[in-house]
């Protein structure tokens, strides 16, 4: 049966562990100049409704490095933009492609593609989740901290798509996650409730950034206004001002804590330039690992576990 990655609760802990180890192996092999052309003759389609630098290019590079072909299609240039039904689009694309990578506003749109198409559907960001990003972020955590068990992760800022994917990951893997979000900008209650029913008090949502980062091994933040929320930017800038990751906040973390940001960053807003450029920041390794993780994801979903 085909497998999709629409949310991280679609994966078992063993799937996460496979992806972490395979992505690490593929990273190592690339650095040794060894190629892995497991996608020879295969085609991956990317349909994006929103802008992207890293996700698009790392998925396209991943497919190319595995010997496959990728096709990037802005959704505005497809008949989807002229109301062709998803069900019809999916039944056509499954005949051309071996996997479909989607970046959309709605999570439900991706669920519908996945329900109808016989090929794997991979969520490359929705308003609700960004699962592939958190997979590669956790790969980075493992590289720097030696594993995910026993670690304490802090999230500071909006209860957005990234925050909700971290909640799902913590629910499946059981690491400690404390989120500090302003009132009115919390993660969806149903997502938090499901996670707490699986992982209990290991997952907490508070309103004080200092409480969230206390003894944290990993500090995560993201933009205050996500794609699609441009009209709220001004209001959000004042609501989120106390939620900046700065040197003062970082004095509360565990020693050797790392700072993560999925990028793009708005330096001077959610994170200071000083912290972003500090030795604790692992943002470039995070960005690199997206490509290695995307290779492992494409291989797992198209070919099966290596």
Contacting residues toward ligand CP, per CB under 6 A: 52-56, 125, 133, 262-263
Q: In the complex, what is the shortest distance from the CB of residue 82 to ligand CP, in angstroms, rounded to a whole number? A: 26
- The interface partner of residue 162, options being ligand NVA, ligand CP, none and the CB cut-off 5 to 8 Å by kind, is ligand NVA
Q: Residue 148's closest CA among 129, 131, 130, 134?
A: 134
- The interface partner of residue 121, options being ligand CP, ligand NVA, none and the CB cut-off 5 to 8 Å by kind, is none
Residue nearer to ligand NVA on the CB measure, 89 or 226: 226
Residue nearer to ligand NVA on the CB measure, 125 or 138: 125
- The interface partner of residue 128, options being ligand NVA, ligand CP, none and the CB cut-off 5 to 8 Å by kind, is none
Residue nearer to ligand NVA on the CB measure, 22 or 240: 240
Q: In the complex, what is the shortest distance from the CB of residue 59 to ligand CP, in angstroms, rounded to a whole number? A: 9
**Residue nearest ligand CP, Cβ-based:** 55
Q: In the complex, what is the shortest distance from the CB of residue 14 to ligand CP, in angstroms, rounded to a whole number? A: 26
**Residue nearest ligand NVA, Cβ-based:** 226
- The interface partner of residue 104, options being ligand CP, ligand NVA, none and the CB cut-off 5 to 8 Å by kind, is none
Residue nearer to ligand CP on the CB measure, 90 or 135: 135
Coil/strand/helix, residue 141:
helix
Burial-class residue 58 by CB neighbours within 10 Å (0-12, 13-18, 19+). Answer: buried
117 alpha carbon, distance to own chain's centre: 23
DSSP secondary structure of 219-235: EEE--SS-TT-GGGHHH
φ, ψ of residue 211 to 5 degrees: the values are -65, -40
Residues forming the site for ligand NVA (CB under 6 A): 125, 130, 160-162, 222-223, 226-227, 262
Dist CA 142 CA 258 (whole Å): 11
Q: In the complex, what is the shortest distance from the CB of residue 256 to ligand NVA, in angstroms, rounded to a whole number? A: 26
Coil/strand/helix, residue 231:
helix
Q: In the complex, what is the shortest distance from the CB of residue 145 to ligand CP, in angstroms, rounded to a whole number? A: 20
User: How many Cβ atoms are within 10 Å of 303's Cβ, its own excluded?
Assistant: 13
Q: In the complex, what is the shortest distance from the CB of residue 102 to ligand CP, in angstroms, rounded to a whole number? A: 13
Dist CA 172 CA 89 (whole Å): 33
- The interface partner of residue 53, options being ligand CP, ligand NVA, none and the CB cut-off 5 to 8 Å by kind, is ligand CP
199 alpha carbon, distance to own chain's centre: 20
Alpha helix ranges (H) inside the chain: 13-31, 54-65, 86-96, 107-116, 131-145, 161-173, 189-199, 209-213, 233-240, 247-250, 273-276, 283-298
């Amino acid at each position: 049966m085909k497998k999709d990655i629409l949310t991280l609760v679609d994966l078992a802990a063993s799937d996460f562990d496979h992806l972490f180890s395979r992505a690490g192996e593929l990273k190592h092999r690339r650095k040794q100049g060894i190629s892995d052309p497991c996608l020879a003759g295969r085609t991956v389609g990317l349909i994006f409704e929103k802008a992207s630098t890293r996700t698009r290019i790392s998925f396209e590079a991943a497919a190319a490095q595995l010997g496959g072909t990728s096709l990037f299609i802005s959704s505005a240039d497809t008949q989807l933009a002229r109301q062709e039904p998803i069900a019809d689009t999916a039944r056509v694309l499954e005949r051309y492609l071996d996997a479909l990578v989607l970046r959309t506003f709605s999570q439900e749109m991706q669920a519908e593609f996945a329900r109808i198409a016989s090929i794997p559907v991979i969520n490359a960001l929705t308003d609700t989740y960004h699962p592939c990003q958190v997979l590669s972020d956790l790969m980075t955590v493992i590289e720097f901290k030696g594993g995910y068990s026993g670690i304490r992760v802090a999230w500071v800022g909006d209860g957005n798509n990234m925050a909700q994917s971290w909640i799902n990951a913590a629910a499946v893997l059981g690491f400690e996650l404390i989120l500090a979000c302003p009132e009115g900008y919390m993660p969806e209650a149903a997502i938090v409730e499901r996670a707490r029913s699986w992982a209990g008090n290991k997952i907490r949502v508070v309103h004080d950034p200092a409480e969230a980062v206390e003894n944290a091994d990993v500090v995560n933040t993201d933009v205050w206004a996500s794609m699609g929320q441009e009209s709220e930017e001004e209001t959000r800038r004042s609501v989120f001002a106390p939620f900046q990751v700065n040197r003062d906040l970082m004095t509360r973390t565990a020693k050797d804590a790392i700072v993560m940001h999925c990028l793009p960053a708005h330096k001077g807003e959610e994170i200071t330039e000083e912290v972003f450029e500090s030795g604790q920041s692992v943002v470039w390794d995070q960005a690199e690992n997206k490509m290695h993780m995307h290779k492992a994801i494409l291989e797992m979903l198209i070919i099966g576990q290596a």
